[in-house]
């Protein structure tokens, strides 16, 4: 359980770390590609939901607006047929013919009668039929086609009985017609009663031409259904074949509701409404279906989708190009800056950044260069100040140490000028003057030696212990007075090639330093240990140790405060002398007391000098 | 009654000359080569004024002054510090010293005597 709990975050962290390692350019590219993809998907969604729906709604309202036009087309047809029928039925010539029973049965007579109505009639109707009062068809003219197999028309009998013109749809001989049935009436003697001589029917076949004409006027496709098949439509034959399933579709019955419905035909959606084609008794004869394709909306969506896809491709390309350019503009100067920072870190203050960056990076590069220049200047100033400080310390030290002998000399001179001094005192004064001037001379020589670095070494094979013991002897008075115990633990067989006087001075300086550091008394230990071809000598005191702030600069001239030889050069001189002997002088890092240690090369070849005879 | 002075300085030449100069002005001078020698002398003697060098190896003037001040038996002893780092006009006097005054080593001995006398008379 615990491992599971810890494993997952590790995996996540690893994944995050991997993302973190992706280069800036790729990160920029991924981010902008993600953003543009999201935006475009969102746009596609919005367009599909808003624009396409709006387009669909627009089509729907258009279709709804078509209903009156649709109705008026039918009414117009019906009116035209009715007028035609009425004109014929009311024509005296017609009445005469139908009044004469023999003439009414003579097809030739009737054909001539129809011909009298001229080309107008021929152009406007597809069917002319005549029935007797019982609805038996006595004549029909199907404009050159075969006759219908129907001999009886129930609707005609209704018209004959009601003596009123009627409009209806009918299938005659498998053909679908819009019919106008008009009774031909003959006024009998009395005013109230009229005889129905015949029923005159004019009809318009609901064929492809009608469908196309209607389609042209209502800007929709029109399909006539009859006897459970497509009778005619304004569609091209291929599309019509695709509509086959429409006949049985349950949506078609719903499409008779007030609002249009969506019907899928083949591969696209249509907005559909339909109306029944009724016979005189209100019975269903057929159906007219009006289809408005939603392909436009679909096409709009596809067009927009294509545009969006193009935009997406472009934006991805732009994102790639942009992130490459940005990355180049950012990372190039960055790399330069990193290089500059490294150079600066390693102490090169002269490395100029060659970044031609503009904007923030340019400012950064400029600021960096400014910083570099000011650092260089500061560094130079620091060095100068350091030199000045050294000079200042040196001057202070020299002034301090020369004032004592100078004051001595001048006071002594003043006293010597007096007459009443005893000769013994006179001598003391003169001796003091001499000592003071000798001291000044000595100090100046030391200073000069140090600045020139010449120590006039005359190295000889020496026993180390002997040199150290002499140095201890030199400081014994000061040590005794201060209460400091000096312990020496150096083997007598350690031989070095050294200038005894100078090396003794090194130990004198170190010992004096140690003693002065312990005004309340303590211990100084001097111990030596062989290390390969070298000897390491430690001078360890039990004093307060070296203050941290001067630890690093301890061996610089005039830093250590004291009166070593009077010049503040004690440790600096000791180090110079040690180095002149091919050794080193360092301060060991300790927590208590101070541990100065020096290493010197051992002189192991040649005859051994007897330390006892030298001591 | 001559003024008794304890003169402390590690510079023997300066000490000898100054002692002769002060004695010629009528003072009674006792010498000490450093702070430890001064403390030893103070166990036997009771000077009116201590004239002490500020910068000495081991026990320096500041520390000696502090020890004298902490010793109630020496409460009436005046303390004058001399320093090579102090200018004749008084600049360079180190802060927090417990001495009665701090003078430059360049101070003329007659002025030093004047100072000693005015302090001793207080």
**Ranges A167-181, A510-524, B8-22, most confident:** B8-22
Structure tokens at A430: 């003169």
Note whether B58 contacts A519, CB cutoff 8 Å.
Answer: yes
- For residue B11, give the nearest of B26, B33, B30 by alpha carbon: B33
A421 vs chain B: nearest CA distance in angstroms? 8
- What b/e sequence results for A87-119 when a residue is b if at least 16 CB atoms lie within 10 Å of its CB, and e otherwise? ebbebeebbebbeeeeebeeeeebeebbeebee
Residues facing residue A194 across a β-bridge = A187
Q: Mean of the pLDDT values across residues A229-235? A: 84
Cβ-based neighbour number of residue A557 at 10 Å: 22
Please state the rounded mean pLDDT for residues A456-472: 86
Closest CA to B101 of B14, B120, B43: B120
Contact A169, A279 (CB under 8 A): yes
Write out the residues of chain B at the interface with chain A, using a CB-CB cutoff of 8 A.
Answer: 10-14, 16-18, 20-21, 24, 34-37, 55-60, 63, 84-85, 105-106, 109
Greater confidence, A345 or A188?
Answer: A345
pLDDT for B80 equals 95
How confident is the model at residue A507, as a pLDDT? 92
Contact criterion met (CB < 8 Å) for A408 and B35 = no
> Which of B17, B36, B106 has the CB atom closest to A415's CB atom?
B17
Measured in angstroms, the CA of B119 and the nearest CA of chain A are apart by 22
| Sign of the CA dihedral running A187, A192, A194, A200 | positive
Q: Dump pLDDT digits (tens) for A13-71.
A: 777 666 666 677 788 888 888 988 898 888 888 877 887 778 778 877 877 777 788 78
Q: How far is B38 from chain A (nearest CA, A)?
A: 11
Q: How far apart are CA A99 and CA A187, in angstroms?
A: 11
Mutation test of the interface with chain A: which of B12, B15, B18, B20, choosing the one with the most A Cβ atoms within 10 A?
Answer: B20
State whether A411 and B11 contact (CB < 8 Å). Answer: no
Asked if B63's CB is within 8 angstroms of A404's CB, the reply is no
| pLDDT tens per residue across span A123-169 | 778 888 888 878 788 777 766 665 666 777 888 888 888 888 888 88
Q: Which residues of B touch A406 (CB under 8 A)?
A: 106
| Pairs of residues, one from chain A and one from chain B, whose beta carbons lie less than 8 Å apart | 86
Q: What is the mean pLDDT of chain A?
A: 79
Max mean pLDDT among A281-285, A359-363, A474-478 falls in A474-478
Partners of A482 on chain B (C-beta within 8 Å) are 36, 58-59
Smallest CA–CA distance, residue B85 to chain A, in Å, is: 6
Q: What is the ipTM of this complex?
A: 0.89
Residues in chain B closer than 8 A to A405 (CB atoms): 11, 13-14
Task: Give the predicted TM-score (pTM) of the model.
Answer: 0.42
Residue A577 has pLDDT above 90, yes or no: no
């Amino acid at each position: 359980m615990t491992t599971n709990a810890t494993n997952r975050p590790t995996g996540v962290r690893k994944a995050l770390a991997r993302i973190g390692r992706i280069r800036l350019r790729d990160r920029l590219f991924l981010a902008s590609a993600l953003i543009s993809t999201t935006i475009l998907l969102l746009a596609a969604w919005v367009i599909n939901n808003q624009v396409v729906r709006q387009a669909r709604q627009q089509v729907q309202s258009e279709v709804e607006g078509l209903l009156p036009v649709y109705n008026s087309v039918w009414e117009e047809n019906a009116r035209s047929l009715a007028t035609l029928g009425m004109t014929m039925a009311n024509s005296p010539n017609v009445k005469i013919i139908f009044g004469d029973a023999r003439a009414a049965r003579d097809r030739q007579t009737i054909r001539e009668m129809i011909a009298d109505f001229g080309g107008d009639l021929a152009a406007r109707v597809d069917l002319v039929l005549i029935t007797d009062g019982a609805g038996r068809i006595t004549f029909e003219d199907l404009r050159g086609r075969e006759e219908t197999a129907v001999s009886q028309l129930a609707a005609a009998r209704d018209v004959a009985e009601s003596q009123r013109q009627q409009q209806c749809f009918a299938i005659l001989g498998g053909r679908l017609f819009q019919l106008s049935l008009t009774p031909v009436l003959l006024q009998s003697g009395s005013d109230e009663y009229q005889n129905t001589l015949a029923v005159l029917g004019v009809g318009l076949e609901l064929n492809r031409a009608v469908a196309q004409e209607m389609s042209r006027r209502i800007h929709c496709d029109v399909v006539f259904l009859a006897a459970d098949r497509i009778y005619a439509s304004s569609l091209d034959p291929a599309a019509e074949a695709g509509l086959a399933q429409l006949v049985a579709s349950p949506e078609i019955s719903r499409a008779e509701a007030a609002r249009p419905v969506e019907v899928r035909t083949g591969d696209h959606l249509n907005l559909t409404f339909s109306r029944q084609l009724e016979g005189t008794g209100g019975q269903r004869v057929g159906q007219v279906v009006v289809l408005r394709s939603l392909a436009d909306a679909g096409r709009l969506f596809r067009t927009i989708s294509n545009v969006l896809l193009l935009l997406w491709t472009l934006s991805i390309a732009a994102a790639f190009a942009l992130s490459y350019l940005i990355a180049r503009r950012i990372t190039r100067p960055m790399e330069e800056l990193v290089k500059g920072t490294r150079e600066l870190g390693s102490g090169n203050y002269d490395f100029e950044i060659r970044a031609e960056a503009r904007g923030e990076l340019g400012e950064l590069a400029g600021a960096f260069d400014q910083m570099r220049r000011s650092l260089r200047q500061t560094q130079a100033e620091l060095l100068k100040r350091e030199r000045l400080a050294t000079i200042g310390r040196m001057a202070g030290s020299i002034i301090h140490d020369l004032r004592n002998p100078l004051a001595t000399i001048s006071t002594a001179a003043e006293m010597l000028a007096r007459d009443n001094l005893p000769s013994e005192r006179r001598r003391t004064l003169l001796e003091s003057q001499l000592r003071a001037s000798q001291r000044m001379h000595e100090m100046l020589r030391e200073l000069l030696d140090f600045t020139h670095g010449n120590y006039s070494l005359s190295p000889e094979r020496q026993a180390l212990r002997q040199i150290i013991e002499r140095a201890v002897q030199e400081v014994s008075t000061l040590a005794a007075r201060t209460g400091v115990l000096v312990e020496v633990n150096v083997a007598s067989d350690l031989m070095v090639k050294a200038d005894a006087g100078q090396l003794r001075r090194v130990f004198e300086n170190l010992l004096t330093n140690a003693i002065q550091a312990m005004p309340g008394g303590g211990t100084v230990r001097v111990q030596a240990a062989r290390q390969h071809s070298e000897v390491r000598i430690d001078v360890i005191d039990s004093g307060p140790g070296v203050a941290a702030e001067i630890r690093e600069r301890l061996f610089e001239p005039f830093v250590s405060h004291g009166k070593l030889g009077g010049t503040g050069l004690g440790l600096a001189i000791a180090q110079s002398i040690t180095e002149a002997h091919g050794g080193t002088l360092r301060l060991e890092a300790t927590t208590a007391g101070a541990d100065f240690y020096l290493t010197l090369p051992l002189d192991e070849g040649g005859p051994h000098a007897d330390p006892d005879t030298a001591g | 009654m001559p003024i008794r002075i304890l003169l402390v300085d590690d510079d023997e030449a300066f000490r000898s000359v100054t002692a002769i100069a002060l004695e010629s002005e009528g003072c009674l001078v006792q010498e000490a080569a450093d702070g430890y020698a001064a403390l030893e002398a103070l166990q036997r003697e009771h000077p009116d004024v201590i004239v002490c060098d500020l910068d000495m190896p081991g026990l320096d003037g500041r520390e000696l002054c502090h020890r004298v001040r902490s010793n109630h038996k020496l409460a009436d002893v005046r303390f004058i510090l001399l320093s090579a780092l102090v200018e004749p006009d008084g600049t360079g006097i180190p802060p927090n010293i417990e001495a009665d005054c701090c003078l430059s080593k360049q101070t003329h001995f007659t002025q030093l005597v004047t100072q000693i006398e005015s302090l001793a008379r207080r």
